[in-house]
Amino acid sequence: MINVTKVFLPPIKEYHKQLQRAWDNQWLTNRGELVLELEEKLKRHLEVSNIIVTNNGTVPLQIALKILGKGGEVITTPFSYVATSAAIVWENCKPIFVDIHPEYLTIDETKIEKAITSKTTAILATHVFGNPCNVNAIELIAKKHDLKVIYDAAHCFGVKYNDKSIFDYGDISTCSFHATKLFHTGEGGAIFSKDINLQHKLFYSHNFGHNGALAFHGVGINGKISELQAAMGLSVLPYMDEILFERKKIIDYYGTNLDLLQIQVLKIRENTLWNYSYYPIVCRTEEQLLRVEKKLNENKIFPRRYFYPSLNTIEYTKGAMMPISESISARILCLPLYVGISSQQLKTIVSIINENL
């Protein structure tokens, strides 16, 4: 069976070695030695000044919205994983959808200003499949209207734009370290901000609001990662060059051998150092997609309709029609992409797709 992705597992002896440290310390949570080491190594690897590693990738969105959303309207994209919109609703804000660019698949920055009202407090945009939004244009709009910017950068581990980390853009950026991501801690995530005062709020917000053992800065929740998760991250991190190298080879194969006259592929924004996180294809029609998917499934190959459906059509977020997002969502398919997929498997995948387009 070939799934859309497969978790990268380091040699178990290396994971055991990290776990042994937690056993020896008898310290499993509350920001122990392994968590602190992981944060320092990630700062160096990602070339960022601040990072807070968290227990998953959704809590950072919730914390960011709690601090910056302030219960107002949040302009966002309809083309993202459901967690993006769900976090907005969960934090008692209202999602206001803006359609997407038909090639980059990120929020269409030219349509944002029309969606701004007196109730707008923030923009929450997704760097889709690791492909950066037009961050410069969004920053100008936010400054003009005194809005905060949050980036859902769940797919963006290692991505750079204009020679700096994608996590350096916006007031807050978040990332996912879920097992399906390039870098992972099993479950996990991270939150970033260059603003020292804001970073301070983010830190105490992910730790119940604590200011030492007995005092509190303010309200908070439990977003802390465990030593067991950090052990996995410390074991995976040394393999990132290998992971990126293998994923690039797979994407190059797809790009060379798929019938690109019949399908659309993701256009990566200029000046981007991409991380090869996903390989989506956009079919001409939903019927074409369903035919291809059916043939792949019959051969025990399971791509994913990612993202589907367009988030403006979900019952608890229903908003105005988003023609481009709704069309893309109905026609997009992410192909299998992971370290360890064989040349013969890739050949089979491509052959089935080309024969059924």
Given a cut of 90, whether residue 299 has pLDDT beyond it is yes
Taking alpha carbons only, the member of 230, 232, 231 closest to residue 9 is: 232
Helices 227-236 & 12-25, crossing angle to 10 degrees?
A: 140
Tokens of 57: 């990738």
pLDDT in tens, 172-205: 999 999 999 999 999 999 999 999 999 999 999 9
Q: What is the pLDDT of residues 206-249, one digit of tens each?
A: 999 998 888 999 999 999 999 999 999 999 999 999 999 999 99
Please write the tens of the pLDDT for every residue from 316-344. 998 899 999 999 999 999 999 999 999 99
> Which two three-digit tokens encode residue 226?
């465990």
Grouping H, G, I as helix, E, B as strand and the rest as coil, residue 123 is strand
**Fold identical between 10-98+105-238 and 239-355?**
no
| Bond into 129 cis (ω within 30) | no
What's the fold here for domain 239-355? Answer: Aspartate Aminotransferase, domain 1 (3.90.1150)
- One-letter identity of residue 109: E
Q: Is the pLDDT of residue 126 over 90?
A: yes
Residues in the chain: 357
Single-letter residue type at 76: T
Look at residues 163, 219, 203, 285 and name the one whose alpha carbon lies nearest to residue 36. Answer: 203
Q: Using alpha carbons, list the distances in angstroms from residue 304 to 3, 102, 221, 255, 267.
A: 8, 19, 33, 18, 19
Domain 10-98+105-238 belongs to what architecture? Answer: 3-Layer(aba) Sandwich (3.40)
Q: What is the mean pLDDT of residues 97-111?
A: 98
Strand order in the sheet with 280-282: 264-265, 280-282, 332-334
Rounded to 10°, the helix 286-298/323-331 angle is 30
Could you tell me the residue ranges of all domains in the chain? 10-98+105-238, 239-355
Residue 88: which pLDDT band, with cuts at 50, 70 and 90? very high
Distances in whole angstroms, Cα of residue 299 to Cα of each of 135, 322, 353: 41, 34, 12
Is residue 232 a contact partner of residue 185, using CB atoms and an 8 Å limit?
Answer: yes
The tens digit of pLDDT for each residue in 244-267 reads 999 999 999 999 999 999 999 999
3-state secondary structure 272-334: EECCCCCCEEECCCHHHHHHHHHHHHHCCEECECCCCCCHHHCHHHCCCCCHHHHHHHHHEEE
Among 292, 327, 337, which Cα is nearest to 105's? 327
